[in-house]
Amino acid sequence: MATRGFGFRQRKSSPGGARLSRRNLIMMGAQLAVAGGLAWRMRQLQVIETDHYRLLAEENRINIRLIPPSRGQIFDRNGEPLAVNSQNYRVVMIREQAGDPDAMLTRLGALIEIPPHQRRKILKDLSTNSAFVPVTVAEHLTWRDFAEVNANAPALPGILPEVGLSREYPHGEATAHVIGYVSAVTEKDLERDDADDPVLLIPEFQIGKTGIERAEERRLRGTAGQRQIEVNSVGRVIRELDRTEGIAGDDLHLTVDMGLQLYALDRVKDESAAVVVMDIQNGDLVALASSPNFNPNSFVVGIGHDEWNSLLNNEYRPLSNKWASGMYPPGSTFKMVVALAALEAGVIGPGEGVYCPGRMKLGNRYFHCWRRGGHGHVALRQSLQQSCDVYYYELAKRAGIEAIGNMARRLGLGVDLNLPIPALKSGLIPTKQWKVERHGEDWTVGDSLNSGIGQGFVLATPLQLAVMTARIASGKNIEPRLIRARDGNPVPVPEAPDLGIRTEHLRWVRDGMFSVVNERRGTAYRSRIADKTMAMAGKTGTSQVRNITAAERARGVTRNDQLPWNRRDHALFVAFAPYDAPRYAVSVVVEHGGGGSKAAAPIARDVMMRTLYGPRPPLEAYPPAERGKIKEMREAEPLPEPEAAPPPGERRVRT
């Protein structure tokens, strides 16, 4: 039995033992394979890819954050600050240190004003951001409020007073339409093609929105700096490891003279108007006034609803840059263009007369002169002096719109002027093809007649009118410029080429402009400069903004002062001086001001005298009838001592 039992056990155990042995071998092989794979992977991580994963670990531990650069400052031609960086006293809150944010805001509100809408925004930002991320509670605080928060800081956990930089415009409204303003980056800003700078993503970062601030944004912004900081696993800052300061933006010096700018704005403070003063020798724009205007500092700190609505609802349109983007029918200031076009085309000579009976008939339609009884026989000089419309109807009919348009563009109308102002408009000098494309109608002779007196489809900006005047005065293709120096480096002034207009033609037109201001029958005689060495030549203009019916003409055209303000004519005047050695050109547009001789010419004369003589022109420079009034004004409000007048032709605006 034992042997038999032994044999039974042998038969039972032998197959099982074999199976167990194979299973063990398979398991051991699998374990070895896994161990080998792990060993190989560990070797790969620790030896082969060690540099790659060390870099990833460092990037998780060390963050690089941008430091906003200091924005370039803007000055006038004499170094007067126009846009600067001032200290911005602000307060931020860190939620994890503040405990109950709502209660902490209530305690802080006892020290500084926190409007309800701002409080709601703060609480929303605190709940959205990480607990350790600072959220701005208030900025642009007064020194007194900032000091009070600092004094109570121990009782305000999580409230941190900070000092940063903010844009400030010392002259406020006086430079609003030239400098523009900066404001916070918006989603729309980030969608622009040039928004590839990561500094734009910095919270509360501000960029230029209008004017020079926007046009020169890249140069003014500068280059961001950076700092390396060590953070923990949840992103909380532990310490700063390294810092590289950014490169400040370029400083700009403009061609504008702030003294003259302030005077021009004061001269039109009660009007909806624009004034441009241009240096004929180099194209410098020494005054650019648009009235009324707005305070750009309001946009930096965040303009309120009431102030914004008051700007939007003002019929004088203070947000509109009138000297750059205001497009007006130039009226009779366009007559020099028509005269030069006709002279160059050879369709009229300076002594050839045209009879003006007060109107011209074309088909079954009459085109009227401003003087109902007409001017009789007039030649070129008298046509400018007395602003005869019939004379220019005749010239426009002879020369044609193409010749007039070519001359207008040569003089700077209807073209783009290369200035760093985003709102700049090119005006409109129509062509036959333009009318077909725009209105689906052919050009008519009547269209040419309307264009001949600066009406119809013709539109120009005050800036373009100043350029036109400067080119007529100089015979050169003068280009306007607004930036005098970048980062201390003067911007070169290229030599202006000749216009290619015959010298005698320009001389005849300038002579007619002289008679407008300096001869008794001239439309601007009352606005002359009595000092013959500084004599001014110019041209008045009045452009209609409404149609005058035949019935109204029959009973008498309604005077401007009897019409609602927005239906009155625009008043215009352009001029240059001194006549014998042209140095400055000026253009003035007074919206709905009525006649150019009454509303625009006196402003232009006063601005030109301020440009030529400085703050206090001599009494002898005024017409005799005005000297007593000027003397009384000076005695009542003493002005600075008069500056010594330089010899004719020398620079009168300080450089």
Three-class SS of residue 131? coil
What CATH number is associated with residue 151?
3.90.1310.10
Residue 433 lies in a domain: yes
pLDDT in tens, 78-137: 999 999 998 888 888 888 778 888 888 888 888 888 888 888 888 888 888 777 667 888
User: Looking at residue 2, what is its pLDDT?
Assistant: 44
Residues 267, 192 share a domain:
no
Local confidence band at 225 (pLDDT 50, 70, 90 cut-offs) = confident
Last residue of a domain, one of 238, 254, 270: 254
Q: Check if the beta carbon of residue 546 is closer than 8 Å to that of residue 521.
A: no
Residue with tokens 């909380």: 236
Residues 191, 293 share a domain:
no
Residues 165, 96 share a domain:
yes
Please give the average per-residue pLDDT across 563-573, as a whole number: 88
Residue 619, pLDDT above cutoff 60: yes
Residue 570 lies in a domain: yes
- Please, what sign has the CA dihedral across residues 540, 452, 281, 214? positive
Local confidence band at 59 (pLDDT 50, 70, 90 cut-offs) = low
Output the DSSP codes for 477-540: ----B-EEEETTEEPP-PPPPB----HHHHHHHHHHHHHHHHSTTSTTGGG--S-GGG--EEEE
Please give the average per-residue pLDDT across 4-8, as a whole number: 43
SS3 content of the chain, % helix, strand, coil (to 5): 45, 20, 35
* Catalytic annotation, pick one of 332, 383, 387, 543: 332
Q: Check if the beta carbon of residue 590 is closer than 8 Å to that of residue 268.
A: yes
Last residue of a domain, one of 220, 238, 254: 254
Mean pLDDT check: name the lowest of 98-112, 293-307, 548-562. Answer: 548-562
Residues 213, 338 share a domain:
no
Q: What DSSP designation does 549 have? A: P
Local confidence band at 638 (pLDDT 50, 70, 90 cut-offs) = low
Record the pTM.
Answer: 0.83
Residues 419, 451 share a domain:
yes
Residues 344, 221 share a domain:
no
Local confidence band at 242 (pLDDT 50, 70, 90 cut-offs) = confident
List, in sequence order, the alpha helices (H) in 83-186: 95-98, 101-109, 116-128, 143-151, 176-179
Residue 16 lies in a domain: no
For 254, phi and psi rounded to 5 degrees? -90, 170
Three-class SS of residue 380? helix
Q: Would residue 332 show up in a list of annotated catalytic residues for this protein?
A: yes
d(CA 575, CA 436): 35
Residue 493 lies in a domain: yes
Q: The domain containing residue 331 runs over which residues?
A: 258-300+318-618
Residue 22 lies in a domain: no
Residue 50 lies in a domain: no
Residues 278, 216 share a domain:
no
Residues 278, 224 share a domain:
no
User: Looking at residue 304, what is its pLDDT?
Assistant: 83
User: Looking at residue 237, what is its pLDDT?
Assistant: 60
User: Looking at residue 347, what is its pLDDT?
Assistant: 97
pLDDT in tens, 353-393: 999 999 999 999 999 999 989 999 999 999 999 999 999 99
Cα distance from N-terminal residue to C-terminal residue, the chain: 133
What CATH number is associated with residue 322?
3.40.710.10
Q: Check if the beta carbon of residue 249 is closer than 8 Å to that of residue 221.
A: yes
Mean pLDDT score of the chain: 87
d(CA 572, CA 596): 5
Residue 514 lies in a domain: yes
Local confidence band at 424 (pLDDT 50, 70, 90 cut-offs) = very high
User: Looking at residue 45, what is its pLDDT?
Assistant: 61
Residues 138, 282 share a domain:
no
Residues 265, 213 share a domain:
no
Residue 9, pLDDT above cutoff 60: no
Please give the average per-residue pLDDT across 22-41, as a whole number: 74
Residue 544 lies in a domain: yes
Q: Using CA atoms of 306, 312, 313, 315 in order, give the dihedral in degrees to the nearest 10.
A: 140
User: Looking at residue 621, what is its pLDDT?
Assistant: 96
Mean pLDDT check: name the lowest of 34-43, 68-77, 248-257, 481-490. Answer: 34-43
Local confidence band at 11 (pLDDT 50, 70, 90 cut-offs) = very low
pLDDT in tens, 175-213: 999 999 999 888 788 877 556 777 887 767 889 999 999
Residues 235, 181 share a domain:
yes
Q: What percentage of the chain reaches a pLDDT higher than 90?
A: 60
How many domains, the chain? Answer: 2
Residues 198, 328 share a domain:
no
